[in-house]
Amino acid sequence: MSLPPEKASELKQIIHNHLLKMDIHGKIREVLAETVRDDQASACQSLSEADFLRALQRRGIIDDVMKDLHFTQEAATDAETGPPSKPATHFVDKDVVQLKKTNIDPSRRYLYLQILGGKAFLEHLQEPEPLPGQVCSTFSLYLHFRNQRFRSKPVPCACEPDLKEGFLLEIHRDGTGEGSKMADATTMLSMCDPVQFVLIKTDTSSETALVSSYFLDWRTVLSSPNGKTCFAVELMGVGSECKLPAGVLTVSLELYPPLTDTLSTDIISTQQSLERQRTAEKERLFLVYAKQWWREFLEIRPSHQSKLVKIFAQDENGVNRPVCSYVCVLRAGRLLESPRQAARFVSLLAHERAPVVGGGSKQEQWCTLMAFLCRGKGDCEDHATLLCSLLLGFGLDAYVCVGTKAKGVPHAWVLTRGTDGSITFWESLTAHRYLHRAIDPDAPPLAPQPKPSSPYRTVGCVFNHHTFMANCQPSDAVELCVFDFQNQSRWKAMSEEALKSVCAPGSTTSLPPMPPLCAPTLDPAAASNQLELEMRYLVSEHRKDLGLATMWDDHLSYLLSSALSAYELERCTGVSCGNEEFQDAVRRAVPDGHTFKGFPIHFLHRNARRAFATCLRSPFCEEIVCCRGDHVRMAVRVRVFVYPESACAVWLMFACKYRSVL
C-alpha cells in the first residue's frame, strides 16, 4: 500500500512522538548496556544487529511499542482542512474545497512552489498552543500567478505557523499559437509576472485581516542546478506597518521538467536590473508630466487647489501608483451574468476602512485587487475600482468618480455614460443606481429644475483604465456638473499616451497583475440548511428562557422561500416580482381568525449568533420571536445566495401565526 507524501510524513511524526513519550532511547540504552555486559562476560564475538533485536524482543519492549500505538481514522474533510502534523480540531474551515487530481501535460512547463513553514511571526509569540477542539485564529495563504489562483489550507496562528503546502503553477507562453509550446529558459526570463502572496488572518468570529501582500520574482530558479532552489522570504506588514516585518516563509521552487541548460545568475540579475531601470524611467517621466499637468490645472482657477483631484494612491504596501492602474477591463466569464449582478456582487464585499492605530483622520489605503478579493472587504475606493473594472468588461463606458458625500466626507463611486448621453451613478457599496440630471444655473427662476436624486455632493475627478480627467467647471457640485468629457473647458484630461506608459497591463514591472474572479466554493443549499437549523435552535432556547414552548410549522417555513428569492432578485435587477404568489400562499396557509406576522432581514455573514442578536434589536422581530397567544406556530427560513469569491447574500425571515384573541 502506497501513501501520499503528506500522509507518510504524518505517520512518521505520530510514531516519532509515541517513541519519545515512551522514552524508547533510554530503554534501548539499558538493553544495549546489559547485552554488552553479558557478551563480555561470556567472551562472545562482537554484537550483531540480529542479537540486539532478539534482546529487545526478550525484554518485551517491541511488544510494548506495538500495543500502545493507536491510529485513528479521520474523515477525509478533516484530513484536508487540517495541517499535517497538528490536530485538525484546532480550527474550523467552513469553506472546504475537495482537492482534485491534476493531469500534468508533459509538453508544458510547470513551477512547483512549496511553502515549507513559517517563522518569526512575532505578533503571535505569546499565543498559547490551542487545545484540541478549541476554535482559534488561522492563517491562510493565497497565491496568484498568470491568471492562476490558489489557496492554502488554514493553519492555527502561531509564531511558527505550520504553513506547509505545495502549488503547481503552469508557465504558459504568451502570443497566438504559442500557448501549446513548452517555455524555454529565454522565454521564461522575459516573463516578469511575479507570484503574488497574500496572507490573511481569520479570527474566531470569521473576521478577516490582511497580514501581508508580497510579490515574488521566481526567475532565480532558472539559474539553479537541477531546477531546484530554496530560500527564505521576509513578509512585510501592510498600511502603516509596511516597513515592519510580519514574518518569514521558507519557499522552495522547482521547475518541471528541469532545464537542460540553466542560465547564469549574472544574466538573470542583469535582466531584473534592466526591467527596474526601464520601470523607474517610465515612472520618472510620468511624474514630470503629472507635475506639469497639475500646474496647468491650478492656473485655470485658484479654487482648484481644494478640489479632490486624485492622481496617485498608495496601495497596501505603501507604493504610490497612478489611480488608473487600479482599474482594468475585467471579464467574469460565466460567474456574473449582467452589469447589475456585478454591482450586487461588489456590494456584498464588506465595507471597512483601513485600520489605523490611534485616533486622528482616517488612513487612506487603496488595495491591489488580489488583496481586496482575498480579504473579502475594503474601503469605498476598492469597491468602486472593482465595479468599474467589471462594468468595463460588460462593455459599458464606465469611470470611477472621486468626490464627497454629505458633510464633506470623501467618497468614490462609479459613473456610466449611455450612447444617448445619459449619466448613471452606481453606488458600489449598496448597488443602488441614480440617474443624473444636471441643474441649469442659467435657466429662468421659475423654470422647473430636476431634484438631486443621488447622495453625492461634489466631484473632483473621474478616471478609468486609460482616461483621467479633472473637473474644471466653476462649481464642483454634482447637481450642477455636466459630464460632457469632450468639452475641454469643463474637463481637463491627461494624455492617454502618458497614462498608457505606466498603467497599461505589462507596461511596467511594478504593476501588480490583475487576477481573475474565482467561482464560489460554498454549497448554497447546505449553507442555508445549516444556518436555518442554528436559527431554530436559538429561537427555541430564547423562548424557553421566557417560559414559552415552540411549535414549528414546516409548511409555513417553506412558503417563506419565495419571498426571500424575490427580495434577492429585486436587489439584483431592481425589479420586484413574485409578491402576489407569496401573499396568496400565505393567505391559504393561515386559517380564518388567525394573524400572520413576518420579518425579513439581510446579512453579509453566516454567523448565526451574531445575526440573531441583531434581529432581536428590532422590536418587530422581537415581537415575532417572543409571540404569546393561542395556537402559536413559528416559522423561520434562511436562503444563502452565493456569488463569486464565495461572497454571500444571506436572507433570513422569521414568521409566526396565532389565533387572535380579543
User: Which pLDDT does position 42 carry in this prediction?
Assistant: 56
Q: What is the DSSP string of 421-438?
A: S-EEEE-TTT--EEEE--
Element (H, E) at 556: helix 554-573
- pTM of the predicted protein model: 0.81
8 Å CB contact between 112 and 148: no
- The beta strands (E) that lie in 83-205 are given as 109-119, 138-145, 148-151, 155-156, 164-171, 195-202
Q: What are phi and psi of 371, to 5 degrees?
A: -65, -40
Instruction: Walk me through the domains of the chain, giving residue ranges and CATH numbers.
Output: 17-28+46-63 (no CATH), 109-171+184-263 (2.60.40.150), 299-354+362-441+448-503 (3.10.620), 524-659 (3.40.33.10)
501: left (phi over 0), alpha (psi -120 to 50) or beta: alpha
In DSSP terms, 603 is beta-bridged to 650
- Candidate ranges 120-129, 240-249, 358-367; pick with highest mean pLDDT: 240-249
Q: What is the pLDDT of residues 280-337, one digit of tens each?
A: 999 999 999 999 999 999 998 888 888 889 999 999 999 999 999 999 999 999 999 9
Is the predicted pLDDT of residue 81 greater than 50, yes or no? no
| More confidently predicted of 82 and 206 | 206
Mean pLDDT confidence for 483-501: 93
Q: How far apart are the first and last CA of the chain?
A: 75
Q: What is the pLDDT of residues 579-622, one digit of tens each?
A: 889 999 999 999 888 999 999 999 998 999 999 999 999 999 99
| Three cell numbers written together for 578 | 413574485
In DSSP terms, 502 is beta-bridged to none
- β-pairing, 245-256 with 228-236? antiparallel
Task: Catalogue the long-range contacts made by 291-298 (C-beta closer than 8 Å, 24 or more residues apart).
Answer: 293/492, 293/494, 293/495, 296/492, 297/470, 297/472, 297/492
8 Å CB contact between 538 and 634: no
8 Å CB contact between 426 and 387: yes
Q: What is the pLDDT of residues 544-563, one digit of tens each?
A: 999 999 999 999 999 999 99
Which class for 101: exposed (0-12), middle (13-18), buried (19 or more C-beta within 10 A)? exposed
User: Which pLDDT does position 579 carry in this prediction?
Assistant: 82
* Among candidate residues 415, 588, 395, the one with its CA nearest the CA of residue 491: 415
In DSSP terms, 651 is beta-bridged to 602, 639
8 Å CB contact between 475 and 443: no
d(CA 639, CA 650): 6
